[in-house]
Amino acid sequence: MPYATVEEPNLRSILQALYLLAPDGGELDVATLLERLPDERQRDLVARLVLEPLSNEAVQQQIDDCLAALQRRGIEAQLKGLKEGMYEAEQQGDMGQLASLQRQFAELRRTLIKRPRAALQHPERPGS
């Protein structure tokens, strides 16, 4: 896991929670992230990052890019799982299951193509 190389425990926990939430798809729900963090200091840090406007646009863009990359990885992991499921369904001759998985794969793939590098929305910056 990419967060395993982060030495600072609070940051590693935050990144781990972000990484685990990314496969859920859609927008990142800050409330859910806060619920998943075990430590009050971690929740405070995330709350400050979300609520305090960043003065440096480059820093904000880096954060947006990281969150988008996490979301993209989650979608790619889901696609991989669907591919494996399609292979198994084909091997078992379950054409109904295969067709269902192919539809799910195509729909998820379209979401990835539609916004390949789109940043996640922030409450204070709708539409970004």
Instruction: Give the number of other Cβ atoms within 10 Å of residue 43's Cβ.
Output: 16
For the chain, the domains span 2-114
pLDDT in tens, 53-73: 656 676 677 777 777 777 788
pLDDT reported for residue 35: 84
**Contact criterion met (CB below 8 Å) for 17 and 37:** yes
* pTM summary value: 0.48
- Give CA–CA dist 19/66, Å, rounded: 10
DSSP assignment of 50-107: HHSPPS-HHHHHHHHHHHHHHHHHHHHHHHHHHHHHHHHHHHHT-HHHHHHHHHHHHH
Give the percent of the chain with pLDDT over 70.
73
Bridge partners of 125, per DSSP, are 122
More confident residue, 43 or 99: 99
pLDDT for 119 equals 40
Token duo for residue 117: 């590098």
pLDDT given for residue 126 in this prediction: 42
pLDDT, tens digit, 9 for 90 and up, residues 109-120: 888 777 644 444
Task: Average the pLDDT over 5-33 and give the result.
Answer: 71
Contact (CB, 8 A) for 60 and 54: yes
Q: How far apart are CA 40 and CA 83, in angstroms?
A: 39
Higher pLDDT, 13 or 93: 93
